[in-house]
A and B are shown apart, each in its own frame.
Chain A
Amino acid sequence: MKALRKILVIACVIALAALGASACGKKSESGGGSGGGGGGEINVALTSFPDYVDPQLSYTVEGWEVLWNVYTPLLTYKHAKGKDGTQLAPALAENMPDISPDGKTYKLKLRPNMKYSDGTPIKASDFAYAIQRLFKADSGGSVFFDVIVGATDYADGKAQNISGIKTDDNTGDITITLTEPNGTFENVLGLMFAAPVPPSTPLDKDSTNKPPPASGPFMISSVNAPRTLTMERNPNFHTVKDAGASEVPDANVDKIIVNENKNNSAQVTDIEQNKVDFMLDPPVADRLAEVKAKYSDRFRMEDSINTYYFFMNMEKAPFNDIKVRQAVNYAIDPEALNRIFGGRLHPSQQILPPGMPGYQEYKLYPGPDMNKAKQLIAEANPADKDITVWTDDEPDRKRIGEYYHDLLTQLGFNATLKVIAGDVYWTTIGNQSTPDVDTGFADWFQDFPHPDDFFRPLLHGDSILPTNGNNYSRVNIPANNAKQDELLTKLIGDGGVEDQYAALDKAYMEQAVWAPYGNEQFTTFLSERMDFDKSYHHLLFNQDYTSFAIK
C-alpha cells in the first residue's frame, strides 16, 4: 500500500507540474500567421472605449488609434514617426491622385484583385458607398466632404447618389469632382472617413456591434462595446500587399485584445506588473513621476499635434482691446501651466504646434512678465472689469482654469470662474446664446496635418456660428480670412506655401487673438516583453499597432 501511495503522490506532482508549465506557457508566442512576421497575443488598456467601431463614424483618439490599421483608405499617411508621418502615400489606390489644372477634379485608380477580410472583393464603388454613409449616418466627418459636387443634395435626400463621385468597378477608376479647388482634400482622403466598405454595411446606422470587414493588416474579430474588442490578423491582407500597397505594413502580432478600464492608476499598476502590454492614455499625474523614475527603459514622452490655449472673446469688452489681450500673453507662465498639468505640456505661445507643416518658432511675448502685463492693462484702462472664465471639469483643466482665474484677479479684474462638465463644455462655449463667454480654456487636436485644419475652424471669420462654432475668440480679420482662402486653393507642397502659413501664424499672434501656452505630450508605456524600440507613436493616429511586437 505504501508503495502505491508513493506512486500516486509522484503522479500527482508530475501532473501538477505539467499543468503549471502549460499554464505558464499559455501566453508565449505561437507561430506566425499567414504572411508577416512575429506573432503572439497582446492586450491593450484604455480609459474610454472607442466612440464607434465604425470607420465612417469614429471621431476620437481611441477610435482612430484602434481602427487605423483595420480600414485602409485610398491614400494613407506614411507609417513613420515624426514629420514623415504627415506625408501621404497611395494605399488602396495605385498612385497619388491625378489633379486637374483647375484643382477641381481628382482621378484615382483602385488596385485590382484586392479582398476584404471576409473574402468580398474590394470595388471602386465601395469608396462612393463609404462617402454616402458619411452623410446618411450623420457622421461628424461629413463636413470634410461637403466640397464634393452633389454632396449636399444627396445629404438632403434630393438625389439618389453623389453626382460628383464617378466609379467604374471594371477598371477601378474613381473620379471625384469638387465645387472648388481645395488643398486639404488629399488629406481627408487619407482619413478613415473615406475608407471603402462593402455595401453590406448599413447605410445610415452605426455598425459598432457588427463592424464591416477589414482591408488593413488587422480585422475586428469580436466587439463587446463598451468593454472590450478583439483584433486579429486579417487573413486577406496579403491581397492588398500583393496588389502593391507597400506603404501599409504587416502586423507583427497575431491578436490584440483591447479592454476598457476606467481606472487609469490601475492600468499603470498593470503595466508595471506586466499584466497589460500597452496603455493608450498617459499615466495619471499622480503616478507619472514614479513611472518616469523607475521604468524609463519602457516609457517615453511623445509629441503630438495639438495646441492648448485660452480663448479671448474679441467682440466684447474688455478683450476687444488688443492691449488687454497682449497683457494676458505677457502674464501667463507656460511653465506654471506645465506643472499643474503634471509635467506633460511642451511650452509654446504660438498657434501651430511643432510637427505641423507651417510651424516656425518665434517669440513675440517673452515672459512671464507681470509688470509689463500690468502696465499694458493700465494703459488700456478697461471700463468693464467683469470677466467670466470658463473651463471644463476634468481635473487638470479645472486646475488650469483656477490658475487663469487667479491670474486675471492679480491683473486687477473681477473674475468669476465657471466649471462645466467636459461633455457639454464645447457646445456651451460655442453657442452664441450663452451669456458672458469672455475667456476660458480651449484646446484643439488636429484632424489631419494641414495648417488649414487649425486656421479655418478656429480663426476664420466664417467659423463664427450660432451654435457649435469652434472660433471661440470670435476672430474675424478680413485680410487674414482672404489669405486663408487663397492658401487653401494651393497644395501644401507648392513653393512658399508653408512659409506663408508660418507668417499667418505670426500675424494672428501679433493681434494676440489667443493666449496659447503649450502642446500636450502623450506617452508610450509598454510591458517588459514588448519590443520598446520597434514601437512608435504616429503624429496623427497615435500608437501604430503594426509596430507592436513581442521581443
Chain B
Amino acid sequence: MVSPIDSLEAPGEPPIPTGVPVAQIQGRSPWYLAWLRLRRNKVALVCAAVFVLIVLFCLAAPLWAEHVAHTGPNENHITDTVMIDGQETDVVAPDGTPLGPGLHGKFLLGADQNGRDVMVRLMYGGRTSIYVGLAAALVTTILAVIVALLAGYYRGWIDAVLSRTMDIIWAFPVLLLGIALGTTLSIGGLKAGPIQIAGDSLWIPILIIGLVYVPYVARPIRGEILALREKEFIEAAVAQGKGPLRIMFSELMPNIVSTVVVFFTLNIANNMLLESALSFLGAGVRPPNASWGTMISDGYQVIFTAPHLTVVPGLMIVATVLSLNVFGDGLRDAMDPRAKIRLEH
C-alpha cells in the first residue's frame, strides 16, 4: 500500500506547499491522491464522459421509440411503407433489401431485413449489451475475490483445489466453452435445485461470461493476497486474535480494492466483446432481443446490400469498449502509478 510520503515521489504530483508549518500539512488519504492524479488525466476523463453519454443514450431508448420512431424494437414492418421526401418508399423492398439510413424521424438509421427500426434497436440493444457487460463483470469480480481470498489466505489444500479449478476453466478454449454452454443452456434453461433460469433469460449469457473470466481476475488477486499475507500487519491481526473472516474483510480486502476496481472496469470492456462474439455465433443473447452482437450477426447477412446494418452497431461497440479501456487505463495509472497490474486477457 502506498503511504502518503511515497506517493509524493511519484511523477506529476501536486507539490508540498512550502513555508507551511508541518503541523498544518494535512495527510491526504490515498483515495484523494488517486482522484487528484486522475483529474489531471484529461483523456481518461473525456472517455469516462463518453461512456456515460453512451449509457444515457441507450437509457433514452423508450423515449425515442415512443415519440420519434413510433415503434418498438421488435416490431416488424416488412410490407409497410414510409413517406420520405413526399415519396412512398418500401421499408423492405420486394427482393428483401431493407431501407437505408436517412434524415427521417422514423427509421433514422434505416431498417433491417425484418423491417425493424435500426435506431430503436440500437438503443435497446445497447441497454442489453451494457447490462450484460456490467452484470457479468460483477459476477466475475465477486467470484474472483472470493476465490482469491480463500485460496490466498488459507493456502494448503483449499488453495490447491481452487487453483486447479481455475486452471481447468482457464484451459478451456474461452469461445468454445462459451458457445457450448450458451447453446445447450438456451434450449432448456438452467435448473439447479431451487434456481430456475429460462433459456432465453439474459442471466444465461451473464453467468457464462462471468464464469469464463474468473481465472483471469482471480489469479493476479490471489498473487497479491499471497504477498500481503506475509506482511507484519497480518501477523499482528492474527496475534490480536482476529478470526479469518475478520482479517479477510478488514485487513486484506481494503488493500486490494484499488486492483479490483481497475479489473472491474477493464472487465466490463472484455465482457462486452465476448458477449458480442457469442451473440454473433448465435450462442449469446437470444432472438428476437436486440444486442449489438446480434445486430451485427443479422446485418452480416446483407452486408453487401445494406452495410449500415453491420457498421453502426460495431462502431457503438468500439466506442464503448474504447472509452472503458482508456478510462480503465487512466484509473490504473491513478490508483497505483508504479503498479504492475496487468489484466491478463
A and B touch in the complex (CB under 8 A): yes
Chain B binder among A119-127, A215-223, A396-404, A512-520: A396-404
Q: How large is the interface on A (under 10, 10 to 19, 20 to 34, 35 or more residues)?
A: 35 or more
Contacts of A289 in B (CB 8 A): 95-97, 305
Size of chain B's interface in residues, with CB distance under 8 A?
A: 30
Q: Is the CB of B303 within 8 A of A286?
A: yes
A393 to B75, CA, bound (A): 20
A402 to B75, CA, bound (A): 9
B93 within 8 A of A: yes
Q: Would A402 and B303 be within 8 Å (CB), given that A419-B286, A421-B183 are in contact?
A: no
B255 within 8 A of A: no
CB distance from B253 to the nearest CB of A (A): 42
- Is chain B's binding surface mostly helix, strand, loop or mixed? loop
Q: Which residue of A lies closest to B281 (CB)?
A: A393
Q: Would A292 and B183 be within 8 Å (CB), given that A417-B200, A419-B287 are in contact?
A: no
Cβ-Cβ contact count across A and B, 8 Å cutoff:
92
Q: Which residue of A lies closest to B80 (CB)?
A: A336
Q: Is the CB of B76 within 8 A of A403?
A: yes
B81 within 8 A of A: no
Contacts of A339 in B (CB 8 A): 78-79, 92-96
B282 within 8 A of A: yes
Q: Is the CB of A343 within 8 A of B95?
A: yes
Q: Is the CB of A417 within 8 A of B302?
A: no
A413 within 8 A of B: no
Q: Is the CB of A416 within 8 A of B301?
A: no
Q: Is the CB of B76 within 8 A of A393?
A: no
B125 within 8 A of A: no
CB distance from B174 to the nearest CB of A (A): 20
Q: Is the CB of B286 within 8 A of A340?
A: no
CB distance from A128 to the nearest CB of B (A): 43
B239 within 8 A of A: no
Contacts of B200 in A (CB 8 A): 416-418
* A258-303, CB < 8 A from B: 265, 284-290, 292
Q: Which of A292, A405, A428 contacts B95 (CB 8 A)?
A: A292
Q: Is the CB of A285 within 8 A of B288?
A: no
Contacts of B168 in A (CB 8 A): none
Q: Would A398 and B97 be within 8 Å (CB), given that A289-B305, A417-B200 are in contact?
A: no
Q: Which of B79, B183, B186, B286 contacts A333 (CB 8 A)?
A: B79
B7 within 8 A of A: no
Q: Is the CB of B95 within 8 A of A286?
A: no
Interface centre among B74, B76, B187 (most CB of A within 10 A): B76
A407 to B78, CA, bound (A): 11
A420 within 8 A of B: yes
* A408-422, CB < 8 A from B: 409-410, 416-421
A339 to B76, CA, bound (A): 12
Q: Which of A395, A402, A407, A410 contacts B301 (CB 8 A)?
A: A395
CB distance from A143 to the nearest CB of B (A): 27
Please encode chain A, from 381 to 407, with 1 for each CB lying within 8 Å of some chain B CB and 0 for all others: 000000000000101001101110111
Q: Is the CB of A393 within 8 A of B74?
A: no
Q: Which residue of B lies closest to A342 (CB)?
A: B96
Contacts of B198 in A (CB 8 A): 416
B199 within 8 A of A: yes
Q: Which residue of A lies closest to B297 (CB)?
A: A395
Contacts of B298 in A (CB 8 A): 395, 399
Q: Which residue of B lies closest to A389 (CB)?
A: B288
The 9 closest A-B pairs by CB, nearest first: A336-B78, A343-B95, A402-B288, A342-B96, A406-B76, A289-B95, A336-B79, A286-B304, A395-B301
Interface residues, chain B, with chain A CB atoms under 8 Å away: 74-76, 78-79, 92-97, 113-115, 183, 186-187, 198-200, 282, 286-288, 298, 301-305
Given contacts A292-B95, A336-B78, 12 further A-B contacts (CB under 8 A): A290-B304, A336-B115, A340-B114, A342-B95, A343-B96, A398-B287, A403-B76, A406-B74, A406-B288, A410-B75, A416-B198, A421-B183
